[in-house]
Amino acid sequence: MTGSRKKLTILFCILMAFCRSPMVVAGESEFTSKQKSEINQMIRAYILENPDILPEAIQILQNRSQRAVLTQNHARLYEDGFSFVDGNKNGDVTIIEFFDYNCGYCKRAFSTVEKLMQNDSNIRIIYKEFPILSDTSYTASKAAMASMKQGKYNIFRKALLKNSGSLTEDRIFEIARKVGLDDKILAKDMTSPVFERNIQINHALAKSLRITGTPGFVIGEAIIPGAVPYDDLVMAVEKARIEQAKKSN
């Protein structure tokens, strides 16, 4: 147990001891003004004497809040019914990635995630279309989702992310033709309002998770912003596995 965690435990025990005082145990439903004042003084005095507990206390609260948000949004994260699922469909750890096709950091993260999938065959990945950078980001996302009807989503997604420079509408359809998509059917399919709805669902989800940029990852109980290095991604996956093992025991 770390020193600050030990101090947090001591503070908790002090409060519990106070709550078990005869007056409280006897059935008082609320603290009196005097009791509240005494509790506040005790807490203030203890924190002033042990200020090093604050960062850990704040982190604990943030972690609890984050877990609650992930739990509340579990269905939209893992079972939205429209996001593409890659990797091992029965993998023990799921990586969720929010991305934009015009994002340079997403292009960097693409190779990192691909490397991770090659080295870990027990990972499932869910791609969340999250266009935020430009109008052509929206066009690319709608085209990508529409390409599912022709069974070309993953190859099209990869080709769009490998594109150097910003995407234009003409370039999007050029890439579509190169990967074997019928561009006329694609253009018609991508006008469906369902794709705009899907994008708005992802935007609302990202807002709930406080993901404001791309890429953004959800791995286990961690929300990770940015194109993190390969080793950090591996550590996040391993941590998620440990968390799952604890829950199953």
Q: List Cα–Cα distances, 5 to 47, 51, 205, 249, in angstroms.
A: 13, 12, 33, 24
**In this structure, are 147 and 229 located in the same domain?**
yes
Domain final position from 64, 86, 108? 64
Q: What pLDDT score was predicted for residue 151? A: 97
Q: What pLDDT does 45 receive? A: 77
Residue 153: CATH number of its domain = 3.40.30.10
Domain endpoint, select from 64, 92, 109? 64
Residue-level pLDDT at 24: 45
Q: Are residues 46 and 102 in the same domain?
A: no
Domain closes at, from 14, 29, 64: 64
The pLDDT, as a whole number, for residue 43 is 74
What is the chain's pLDDT, residue by residue, as a tens digit (249 residues)?
555 555 555 545 555 554 554 444 444 546 678 877 877 787 777 767 776 765 665 555 556 666 788 889 999 999 999 999 999 999 999 999 999 999 999 999 999 999 999 999 999 999 999 999 999 999 999 999 999 999 999 999 999 999 988 899 999 999 999 999 999 999 999 999 999 999 999 999 999 999 999 999 999 989 999 999 999 999 999 999 998 888 777
> 147-186 burial, b for 16+ CB within 10 Å, e for fewer?
beebebbbebbebbbebeeebeeeebbebbeebebeeeeb
Q: Which residue range(s) make up the domain with 95?
A: 75-248
User: How many angstroms separate the CA atoms of 139 and 60, rounded?
Assistant: 41
Identify whether 69 is part of a domain: no
* Domain total in the chain: 2
In a domain? residue 25 = yes
Same structural domain for residues 105 and 190?
Answer: yes
Fill in the amino acid letter for 63: N
Q: Quick check: is 70 in a domain? A: no
0.85 exceeded by the pTM? no
Q: Give residue 25's pLDDT.
A: 43
Q: Are residues 201 and 235 in the same domain?
A: yes
Does residue 179 form part of some domain? yes
Looking at the DSSP bridge assignments, the partners of residue 84 are: 127
Q: Tokens 């005869």 sit at which residue? A: 22
31 within domain boundaries: yes
